């Protein structure tokens, strides 16, 4: 296994995150050589400036956390974030439209954001805790066909985060063609390693330093 830090998107998406908090997030990411920092789009310019001399990418979330906004709004948010310095975009699917059985809408929603991303990496957030295995499979098949960068388990803001079962299912459907990101509730090294063993090749976490160092954390968080 490669250095565990290189799997991690060091994440801070709290509504009350301050400028100081984001600067600290970026400093920690640069020090530990995490794959990226993951922030809300309003903090992309700050993160991009803070990390300009590092090997850490800037990741942002789009249509977050509900995924129910207009497709055009998601696509615009993604394009503008990339213009301001984002390297990767994590978008939330329209969960309600999926639950309504409108797979064509879901596909077009993802496709529009994917097109807006250009050369930037797109990760598609499914929010698995609200979906059946069949629905997870359906979205993963869409993402595999479109050849997006990653499928992602969770926002970390719903009823449950990543599970080994869901990660393994997603990996089974997408094969080796695209990535799988486990996020939400991954707060220690043991859990992160289980997710990687199940098929994840990226981890979204706020307890990134504890995960990388093998420390135990008791606080809740992304």
Catalytically active residues are 90, 152, 181
Whether the Cβ atoms of residue 169 and residue 141 lie closer than 8 Å to each other: no
Identify the helix (H) or strand (E) that includes residue 164.
helix 164-174
What is the crossing angle of helices 71-83 and 103-117, to 10°? 20
Q: Which residue is it, tokens 């695209």?
A: 178
Q: Cα(212)–Cα(209) distance, rounded to whole angstroms? A: 5
CB 170 within 8 A of CB 141: no
Alpha-carbon gap, residue 96 to 99, rounded angstroms: 5
Continuous segment of H or E residues that includes residue 137: helix 133-146
150, 178 contact by CB (below 8 A): yes
Q: Name the percent of the chain in helix, strand, coil, to the closest 5.
A: 45, 15, 35
């Amino acid at each position: 296994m490669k250095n565990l830090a290189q799997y991690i998107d060091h994440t801070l998406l709290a509504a009350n995150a301050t400028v100081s908090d984001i600067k600290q997030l970026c400093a920690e990411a640069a020090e530990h050589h995490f794959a990226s920092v993951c922030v809300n789009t309003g903090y992309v310019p700050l993160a991009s400036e803070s990390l300009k001399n590092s090997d850490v990418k800037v990741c942002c979330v789009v249509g977050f956390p509900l995924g129910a906004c207009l497709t055009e709004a998601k696509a615009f948010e993604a394009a503008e974030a990339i213009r301001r310095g984002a390297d990767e975009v994590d978008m939330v699917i329209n969960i309600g439209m999926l639950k309504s059985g409108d797979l064509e809408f879901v596909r077009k929603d993802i496709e529009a954001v994917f097109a807006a991303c250009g050369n930037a990496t797109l990760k598609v957030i499914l929010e698995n805790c609200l979906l059946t295995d069949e629905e997870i499979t359906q979205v993963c098949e869409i993402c595999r066909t479109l050849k997006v960068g990653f499928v992602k388990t969770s926002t970390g803001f719903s009823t449950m985060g990543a599970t080994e079962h869901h990660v393994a299912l997603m990996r089974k459907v997408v094969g080796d063609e695209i990535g799988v990101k486990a996020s939400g509730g991954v707060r220690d090294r043991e859990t992160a390693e289980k997710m990687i063993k199940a098929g994840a090749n990226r981890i979204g976490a706020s307890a990134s330093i504890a995960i990388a160092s093998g420390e135990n954390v008791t606080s809740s968080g992304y």
